[in-house]
Amino acid sequence: MSVELRPLGVACNIQCQYCYQNPQRDAGNVPRAYDVEAMKAATEREGGPFTLFGGEALLVPEADLEELWRWGLEKWGSNGIQTNGVLINDEHIRMFREYKVHVGISMDGPGELNDSRWAGTLERTREATAKTEANLERLCREGMPPSLIVTLHRGNATADKLPIMHGWFRHLEQMGVTSARLHVLEVDEDGVGAAYALSTDENLEAFLGFAALERELTTLRLDLFQDMRNLLTGNDDNTTCVWNACDPYTTRAVRGVEGFGQASNCGRTNKDGIDFVKSEVEGFERYLALYHTPQEHGGCKDCRFFLQCKGQCPGTAIDGDWRNRTEHCDLWKGLFRTLEEQMLDAGEVPLSASPERKEIEATFLELWAQGQSTSIAGVKRLVAERAQSSGAPVAVGNVHGDVPHGDAPHGDA
């Protein structure tokens, strides 16, 4: 669970063409003010620590940034921010160091490969990208290498552009970047899909290319592929939120705090431009329905990767309707099949090919019907505990530990 502190909501200094927050901007839901003390109180209620988020979080005046980070360091010992990196200046660098601020930068590649992060004109866009690249390099030189979020689309991940991207990732590793997250493009408007969306085959080529690249890299890790391998082996206590049965009305992994302290959800589930009130009760109706609904009707029935995928993020659901499975179903199936084959070739039996799969699925259905959820590893522990208490043999391997849900910021606008 992370607290996303959003003083200025979706206000941003650039206009990314594919941004999932654009419905809020189109509806005029961009705040102009905030209350620092109200945000502090709300963050404490949510349990902290927090990551400053946007839109673009560095639009917040420096004095207020310093007060929030001073308080965050005092309360929790560290801070975080997700930014497009354009606005970083000397004062920000000082504060990052002094208040132990981990910086996440969202960008889609070097030079023209970042053009989708539009700044009004091509000239201003390229200038903004150059600033982000310079600030990224400076953070690495200063001993504060950021993590990266990169969205793959037609502007940076077609066959002719992938060699440039791979070279850039090698350069990032040489600079000291150790963590990057790959996002598949979320399409909320027809125009975005037409301009930027890759076909399923192009997406598969791009993601498999990065999976091969990761094997070449030594210190820079792409958490997506490790998440997927952990899901196939049932060691998924700390996988990111998109794999963990998210209720779009309460988004367990993201506890949003807006500028006047109001609670909000992950912005990826907001398709109407309105921040709905966060529900106090978590429900898993989506996952019960997906399990039983035929695939030709938007469900996941009989998919052997359902345990791993669970229909994926509701923010990427077919037709923008969270009741459906993800519109990227064929991509995730293709990636899981590839990883499954690699495991079988190595003599491992993934859960997708295991006779234990049905029992674990049945236990998930039982928990969801009771308004509860956990990881695959958590279900394995539960099944083992039940078997031990009944004297039956344990059939699902080694189980131990708690059941946290890992997450990291989703990226700026």
Whole-number Å distance between alpha carbons of 267 and 410 = 9
Task: Give dist(CA 14, CA 120) in Å, integer.
Answer: 7
Per-residue pLDDT tens for 233-259? Answer: 999 999 999 999 999 999 988 899 999
For residue 373, what are the CA distances in angstroms to 47, 124, 182, 283, 398?
A: 20, 46, 26, 9, 20
Distances (CA, A) of 176 to 53, 138, 209, 354, 383: 24, 11, 21, 39, 42
**Helix axes of 162-175 and 122-141: crossing angle, nearest 10 degrees:** 30
Q: Which segments in the chain show pLDDT lower than 50?
A: 394-413
Contact between residue 350 and residue 335 where contact means Cβ atoms under 8 Å apart: no
At residue 190, the pLDDT reads 82
| Cβ–Cβ < 8 Å for 351, 233 | yes
pLDDT digits (tens, 9 = 90+) for 205-218: 999 999 999 999 99
Q: How many CB atoms lie within 10 A of CB 372?
A: 12
- Here the tokens at position 120 are 């009004």
| Residue position matching structure tokens 């990732």 | 169
Answer yes or no: are the C-beta atoms of 211 and 226 closer than 8 Å. no
Q: What is the pLDDT of residue 1?
A: 62
Q: Which residue reads 């990291």 in tokens?
A: 408
Strands (E), 237-347: 254-258, 263-264
Residues 6+ apart with CB under 8 A from 248: 265, 269, 286, 314, 315, 322
DSSP string, 222-240: EHHHHHHHHHHHT--TT--
Beta carbons of 46 and 268 less than 8 angstroms apart? no
CA 60/CA 147 separation, integer angstroms: 21
Q: Which residue type occupies 393? A: P
3-class DSSP assignment, residue 8: coil
Phi, psi dihedrals of residue 374, rounded to the nearest 5°: -160, -170
pLDDT at 284: 97
Domain boundaries, the chain: 2-230
Q: Which CATH architecture has domain 2-230?
A: Alpha-Beta Barrel (3.20)
pLDDT of res. 32: 83
